[in-house]
């Protein structure tokens, strides 16, 4: 039996056989490793990156909905389920996860008791050092090879040396370490506990503080770094917190040494740390919390900081032409002509007489409407790939009115002209299955074109539609649907070689 579908170059990645959905609270990178094992793809995260046509770094920081769509998995996109903030430039990210190194942490008892073992996203947070379920410290170093657990390991439940992670021994977490973790986990539970959760900025700063306290106690060769995004949006490198930093015999001695060195005149002293972070971290060590608060300068009082922030003028949300270039894919000249012709409502720009530079002003409401329109639609080529037909057949569906298209051309010669909505393609496929497929095969009486496009009696449309109806009536076209839930757009298949002449699809095995 042969199936006809269109081969699109940009979607040459094979669809996975096992498309298991992510479990609640699962880590993004470890879900990809579990997905590779389920499909018998050796190599773990590196192999999945090669299949997706990107590097390992790009794979881990990319949008989950974008990556899973290449493998044929439908997953809703949500802002809180991305590994990175939107303002981070993916090309500049060197490490796998935000606020962490290429290392991971696990709870052996959780992995051993899981029906389907999976790594939680909360374990990878900067301040996650203990398991909230078993009350034990997380394990980040293999007890067989004494090396940190690698995110890029080929197997989910085994270290690179072959040791079973479920057999690792974990120490009982002390009360102050559990309380330290609760300070940051409870306040940001919605962001750090969800599926594919990402780290919070305050948790990253807390990890920097803990590591800074423990740095004098360990050799420089054992120090590791992680990526931190500062307030100005620049990616910097800082020390990463490890479990061993919290296993020091006398943590109060470390705090006492920090207090002794906290001279306001020193540039690298404790005074440079955020006041709010310092209070949250040292309040977990109740014996010295009050002494630490008295060390801060008066101008760092939180009440004064909040009052100063209230006095600042509100930041006005503005967008320029570069933002539109990223969203629409059009060039600078195309968008400039569009603004001159009035193609973008209320968009304007001013010219500096001295330098000749143009300063653009795109209203936020107009910018959001353009972004929403671009995100909810696809190009004709992408629609043809999703429906499983040729580009010419897709254009025929649009021209005949079977699939509604939206005009998004900013100028006459600009890009992004006809764009189709994926929901329209899904409705069209469901219509064919619902109206044409019966127990005894497709019937001509059930394929009324006016049912799909009411009031459409154009001669061109009827001529195009009569070709399909005639082929169905003569049983030269057989429609069937694959048994997949939910129904995917590529589940629309047709048989017989005559359909190739009608829709221009290519024959594949």
**pLDDT at residue 7 in the model:** 37
DSSP result, 267-324? TTSGGGS-HHHHHHHHTTSTTTHHHHHHHS-GGG-HHHHHHHHHHSPPPPP-B-HHHH
Residues 186 and 67 in one domain: yes
For residues 262 and 264, give the distance between their C-alpha atoms in angstroms, rounded to a whole number: 6
- Which is nearest to 214 in space by CA: 164, 167, 248? 248
- Which is nearest to 396 in space by CA: 489, 507, 505? 505
> Which one is predicted more confidently, 464 or 502?
464
The verdict on residue 330 lying in a domain is yes
**pLDDT at residue 65 in the model:** 74
**pLDDT at residue 261 in the model:** 44
**pLDDT at residue 108 in the model:** 92
Summarize the confidence of residues 432-442 as an average pLDDT: 50
**Residue 222 pLDDT more than 70?**
no
For residues 225 and 208, give the distance between their C-alpha atoms in angstroms, rounded to a whole number: 10
Residue 361, Ramachandran bin (φ over 0: left; ψ between -120 and 50: alpha; else beta): beta
- Which is nearest to 489 in space by CA: 402, 429, 403? 429
Residues 341 and 416 in one domain: no
Q: Which of 373, 408, 435 is the last residue of a domain?
A: 373
Contact 74, 486 (CB under 8 A): yes
Contact 80, 188 (CB under 8 A): no
Summarize the confidence of residues 221-245 as an average pLDDT: 48
What is the residue-averaged pLDDT of the chain? 62
pLDDT in tens, 53-93: 888 777 777 777 777 777 777 665 544 344 433 333 333 33
pLDDT > 70: percent of the chain = 41
Please, which residues have CB within 8 angstroms of residue 276's CB and are 6 or more apart in sequence? 202, 302
Lowest mean pLDDT among 213-222, 328-337, 386-395, 435-444: 435-444
Q: Is 397 helix (H, G, I), strand (E, B) or coil?
A: helix
Which tokens hold the place of 274?
A: 């955020």
Most confident region among 149-158, 263-272, 381-390 by mean pLDDT: 149-158
**pLDDT at residue 110 in the model:** 92
Residues 131 and 28 in one domain: yes
**Residue 406 pLDDT more than 60?**
yes
- Which is nearest to 241 in space by CA: 348, 363, 101, 377? 101
Quote the domain boundaries for residue 425: 376-508
For residues 277 and 14, give the distance between their C-alpha atoms in angstroms, rounded to a whole number: 47
Most confident region among 218-222, 268-272, 395-399 by mean pLDDT: 395-399
Residue written as token pair 């594919």: 196
Which tokens hold the place of 362?
A: 């795109």
Residue written as token pair 């509100």: 314
**Residue 146 pLDDT more than 70?**
yes
Residues 346 and 397 in one domain: no
**Residue 240 pLDDT more than 60?**
no
For residues 509 and 501, give the distance between their C-alpha atoms in angstroms, rounded to a whole number: 18
pLDDT in tens, 21-42: 788 888 888 888 888 888 888 8
pLDDT in tens, 94-135: 333 343 446 788 899 999 998 888 888 888 777 777 888 888
The verdict on residue 145 lying in a domain is yes
Residues 170 and 226 in one domain: yes
Q: Which of 221, 248, 275 is the last residue of a domain?
A: 248
The verdict on residue 463 lying in a domain is yes
The verdict on residue 8 lying in a domain is no
DSSP letter at 148 equals: B
The verdict on residue 5 lying in a domain is no
Per-residue confidence band for 282, with pLDDT thresholds at 50, 70 and 90? very low
pLDDT in tens, 339-353: 887 777 788 888 888
DSSP letter at 346 equals: T
Q: How many CA atoms lie within 13 A of 164 on its CB side?
A: 6
Q: Which of 227, 248, 269 is the last residue of a domain?
A: 248
Residues 368 and 489 in one domain: no
Pairing label, strands 235-239, 225-229: antiparallel
The verdict on residue 279 lying in a domain is no
Residue 77, Cα to own-chain centre: how many angstroms? Answer: 7
The verdict on residue 293 lying in a domain is no
The verdict on residue 475 lying in a domain is yes
Residues 455 and 362 in one domain: no
Residues 423 and 366 in one domain: no
Per-residue confidence band for 402, with pLDDT thresholds at 50, 70 and 90? low
Residues 88 and 152 in one domain: yes
Residues 327 and 409 in one domain: no
Residues 185 and 172 in one domain: yes
Number of domains observed in the structure of the chain: 3
Residues 343 and 359 in one domain: yes
């Amino acid at each position: 039996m042969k199936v006809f579908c269109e081969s699109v170059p940009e979607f040459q990645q094979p669809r996975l056989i096992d498309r298991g959905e992510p479990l609640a609270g699962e880590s993004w990178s470890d879900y990809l490793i579990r997905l590779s094992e389920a499909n018998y793809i050796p190599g773990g995260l590196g192999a999945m990156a090669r299949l997706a046509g990107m590097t390992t770094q790009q794979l881990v920081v990319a949008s989950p909905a974008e990556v899973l769509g290449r493998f044929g998995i439908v997953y809703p996109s949500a802002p809180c389920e991305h590994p990175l903030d939107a303002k981070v430039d993916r090309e500049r990210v060197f490490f796998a996860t935000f606020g962490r190194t290429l290392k991971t942490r696990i709870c052996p008892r959780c992995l051993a008791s899981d029906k389907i073992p999976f790594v939680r996203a909360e374990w990878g947070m900067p301040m996650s050092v203990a398991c909230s379920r078993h009350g034990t410290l997380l394990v980040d170093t293999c007890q067989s090879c004494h090396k940190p657990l690698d995110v890029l390991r080929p197997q989910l439940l085994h270290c690179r040396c072959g040791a079973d992670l479920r057999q690792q021994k974990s120490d009982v977490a002390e009360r102050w370490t559990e309380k330290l973790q609760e300070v940051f986990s409870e306040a940001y539970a919605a962001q750090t506990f969800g599926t594919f959760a990402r780290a919070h900025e305050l948790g990253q700063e807390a990890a920097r503080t803990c590591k800074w306290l423990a740095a004098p106690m360990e050799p420089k060769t054992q120090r590791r770094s992680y990526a931190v995004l500062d307030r100005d949006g620049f990616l910097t490198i800082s020390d990463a917190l490890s479990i061993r930093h919290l296993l020091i015999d006398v943590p109060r001695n470390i705090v006492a040494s920090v207090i002794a060195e906290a001279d306001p005149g020193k540039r690298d002293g404790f005074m440079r740390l955020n006041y709010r972070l310092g209070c949250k971290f040292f309040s977990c060590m109740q014996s010295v919390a009050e002494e630490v608060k008295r060390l801060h300068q008066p101008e760092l009082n939180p009440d004064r900081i909040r009052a100063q922030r209230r006095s600042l003028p509100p930041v006005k949300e503005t967008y320029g032409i570069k933002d539109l270039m990223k969203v629409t894919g059009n060039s600078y000249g195309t968008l400039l002509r569009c603004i001159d012709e009035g193609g973008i409502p209320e968009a304007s720009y001013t010219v500096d007489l001295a330098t000749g530079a143009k300063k653009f002003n795109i209203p936020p409401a107009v910018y959001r409407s353009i972004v929403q329109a671009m995100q909810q639609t696809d190009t004709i080529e992408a629609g043809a790939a999703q429906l499983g037909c040729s580009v010419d057949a897709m254009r025929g569906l649009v021209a005949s009115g079977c699939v509604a298209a939206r005009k998004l051309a900013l100028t006459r010669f600009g890009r992004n002209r006809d764009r189709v909505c994926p929901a329209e393609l899904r409705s069209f496929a469901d219509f064919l299955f619902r109206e044409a497929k019966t127990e005894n095969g497709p019937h001509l009486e059930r394929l009324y074109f006016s049912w799909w496009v009411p009031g459409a009696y154009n001669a061109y449309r009827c001529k195009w539609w009569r070709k399909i109806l005639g082929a169905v009536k003569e049983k030269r076209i057989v429609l069937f649907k694959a048994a997949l839930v939910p129904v995917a757009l590529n589940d629309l298949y047709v048989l017989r070689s005559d359909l190739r002449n009608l829709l221009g699809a290519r024959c594949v095995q």
